[in-house]
Amino acid sequence: MTAQAQTSDSLALASLKSVDPGLLPYFPRWSVCEPNLQLQIFQVFKLDGRPAENLDMRTILITSAPIKDPKNPDYNILLIECGKEKMTADQVDSKLKTLLSTLINPKRPYCYQDVPVASAPSQAQIEAITNYLEMPTNTTHSYSLSAFEQTLKIGKEDGYWIRSVIGTEGAGLPFISSGEAKVMVQHPLYVNEDIATRKAIPNLLHFHIGMGYRMQDTSNGMLNFLPQRRLNAAYGGKGIFGFDFHAPFEPNFGITFHVEVPLQGIDTLKTIERATYAAYFKSNPASPRDPLVVAPLLRITGNTGLFYNWWLDPENPENYVRFDLGINYTEVREVAINRLGNDTGPFALNDKVDGLTFFHPTEFLDWLYAKVEYRNQSTFPFGLSAQYSNQIFLGRLYLPLLGEWLYLDARYSIPLRSESRQFDQSVFMISPVLRLNI
């Protein structure tokens, strides 16, 4: 019986070595990210006469036969891919002999990144690209922490995301420049029935709902390299709602919608804490010798439009671009900060004073919302985006520092309107990002 079992194992292994490459994604896979090892494997493919245009040293993927004991893995390489070129098990044994002992070492003493065992390569990579930094769908629990936002995921594909965000980036106002922050819950709905795109886009509708709140500290504290905040959110908070809806007939195409609405108007009798509002002086038409103390309040904001996801090479989906085009609405209302009663009374906000301005879209560029985002998921994953909204340019770049758990996230905004507003300012902020996936 022992001999029969050994014979059976040998036959099974022989069968695995000749398996259809289309089935190989269901076996353990990992990409090589060790530069020296990448170069050596690349040279083997090149010396074997493979077309140079098909080779990519940054995209080297290894597929192994199933392992019996994950704690003590015994790797048996079935396939090595370099770009679009492949070497099967027999070719690996004969042409990569000098490197084979390193590649199959149970400890894998080189830089590598595992690919989920039960995921087809293209679909797993697509899934990783679209959600790589913020919201991965292939984890049960996920947590990320940065100066810009903190996210917590509970549950797997149909789980809930809880996000705490500082800033109003839809209006081009990152980090503390908007004077407000928010907490939102996001949940996917409406299962995607399209087999070709289901892995990448498991749900066609993602909605989010939450509350916005004002930031009271007007100083930058340790972040003294940032310009001091000039905008404010008013008391009462904001209601937030939005969604991304992928078209059932073409899931890469869809509609996006997001709105933030104040839950309370300006009450001229409600007292405030003066030190928590950023303000500036403005001429007073009623009394030129007595200037107004003005606090600009960010009120209704939102955007809606169409989006499209584009894969540069669907057969090797490592480069992903998303395009958004639509309209933006952002309003800022100036209010005067006055004392109630006598000169020593408490402060209140008053929007019924001559000389104040209500800023809202009045021309085409005020309404325009456009954004393009590029993400790369390969040996060195990174992403960048450029957004034009509210006549403000907002750029973003993120890079990995250590593995898949520590990143660097940088954002820069600059107003582009011809007539400057007193609360407009350029902002540059950089933050580490800590990600933990379970």
Q: How far apart are CA 331 and CA 359, in angstroms?
A: 5
Structure-block tokens of residue 393: 């340019």
pLDDT-based confidence at residue 135 (cuts at 50, 70, 90): low
Give the dihedral sign, CA 182/185/186/190: negative
Cα torsion for 316, 317, 318, 323, to the nearest 10°?
Answer: 140
Q: What percent of the chain shows pLDDT beyond 90?
A: 49
Taking the CA of residue 418 as centre, how many other CA atoms within 13 Å lie in the half-sphere pointing to its CB? 3
Residue 3 is predicted with a pLDDT of: 45
Q: How many CB atoms are closer than 10 A to CB 112? A: 17
The pTM assigned to this predicted structure is 0.71
Q: What is the mean pLDDT of residues 361-380?
A: 88
Is pLDDT at 67 greater than 70 in this prediction? yes
pLDDT-based confidence at residue 2 (cuts at 50, 70, 90): very low
Report phi then psi at 45, rounded to 5. Answer: -60, -40
CA distances from 400 to 275, 406, 412, 428 (A): 39, 6, 18, 19
pLDDT in tens, 214-251: 999 888 878 888 889 999 999 999 999 999 999 988 88
Q: Name the least confident of 36-50, 132-146, 256-270.
A: 132-146
Cα torsion for 210, 211, 215, 220, to the nearest 10°?
Answer: 0
Q: How far apart are CA 61 and CA 308, in angstroms?
A: 29
Q: How far apart are CA 186 and CA 129, in angstroms?
A: 19
pLDDT in tens, 275-329: 999 999 999 998 888 899 999 999 999 999 999 988 777 655 567 899 999 999 9
For the chain, the farthest-separated pair of C-alpha atoms sits apart, in whole angstroms, at: 104
Taking the CA of residue 236 as centre, how many other CA atoms within 13 Å lie in the half-sphere pointing to its CB? 16
Q: How far apart are CA 171 and CA 161, in angstroms?
A: 23
